Amino acid sequence: MNDLAGKHLVLGLSGGIACYKAAELCRALVKAGATVQVVMSQAAEQFITPVTMQALSGRSVFTSQWDNRPSAGVDNQMPHINLSREADAIVIAPASADFMAKLLHGRADDLLSLMCLARPLERVPLIVAPAMNREMWAHPATQRNVAQLRADGTHVLGVGQGEQACGETGDGRMLEPEELLDEIVSFFSPKPLAGRRVLISAGPTWEALDPVRGLTNRSSGKMGFAIAQAARRAGAEVDLVAGPVALPTPRGVRRVDVSSALDMQAAVQAMAEQADVFVAAAAVADWRPASVAEHKIKKDGSGQVPALQWVENPDILAGVAASERASRGDLFCVGFAAESQDVLAHAQAKRVRKGVPLVVGNLGPETFGRDDNALILVDEHGSTELPRASKGDLARQLVADIARRITLK
């Protein structure tokens, strides 16, 4: 996906063992469509070579303010000016405790710090990814510096927690490359849902027959998780109620794991009280066994199949759509219709039956477990097709459409 297509980023490396993560971050930024100019401090060169970063970025790396090569196409021996002027943002990853102290006090004794100080504040944002020992991170001086940098307009990211190169464990690790990429993409994403709270259900449900068997479906949850990520990048606070899936939680999203339809109903109803938007992307089982066997149901050799009694599960979406908040327009509800045929007709009927303003239809057999999809958006005025694309791209389109609808209503 080209989440950063058209963006030019300066990736700055200060000294620290986390420089090895900067290599993967650079690669990820390029894959996301950005052009990347790497600038390294002398300390960073002790941990990773400019040759590595040049190979990954496809551009010559700058390390000294005295470098007399042309920079950004300008031959004036002022790389600290030229490199910052063409950037859409400067990303410092890793940012050591010492380098953040430099930024705070406006010290500029090398190319990297000079460039940060010389950047046009109104159009070249500075994004900083701290990386240091847990005691250094917790030190009052560091925390004061972080607070003041944020007050000065620097976008200081959080830190990770875990084992550190020194052998200690705690806060202070630089975020992982995929987390940093998500933060950078989110930074550049429009925020049409800022101030909104979005609730999303995703994945299948599991209706137990006995302790080891149950009724479920092939939903992977990928579409719902992509919508959660897109909504968060659009500025929303996001709650995700997830059935049994093997997917990582999108960064910045609050997740509640459930199993059965009744579990999902309870979680959704509780969270819907605070939501502005509810997207019911989960594939909820229509029925559940009337009773669950205490032990595994065994074959007895008779060839007879055990008789099972079924109970219809509650309609989670219809219940939320009929709530007082949804009825008076405070909660915008979106349904999903995963069909095997006649998607448009079934989606139109489902929209009316559920009493919701928007239903998203797709062919289940052509999307379950895949990374791409094709959608049909159905409302009271007709339908709009979203051609097959990655689920991430479709999620962004859907979130933008929802944001437009709730802004206009």
Catalytic residues: 166
Helix intervals (H) in 287-390: 316-321, 324-327, 343-354
The encoded tokens of residue 375 equal 């959608």
| 30 touches 58 (CB < 8 A) | yes
> Which has the closest alpha carbon to 364: 331, 339, 388, 397?
339
Helix (H, G, I), strand (E, B) or coil at 36: strand
Q: Which residues pair with 312 in a beta bridge?
A: 287
> Which has the closest alpha carbon to 369: 264, 239, 245?
245
Q: Measuring CA to CA, how many Å separate 197 from each of 23, 42, 119, 278? A: 35, 45, 35, 9
| 20 touches 202 (CB < 8 A) | no
Q: Which residues pair with 38 in a beta bridge?
A: 11
Please name the residues in contact with 382: beta carbons below 8 A apart, sequence gap of 6 or more.
Answer: none
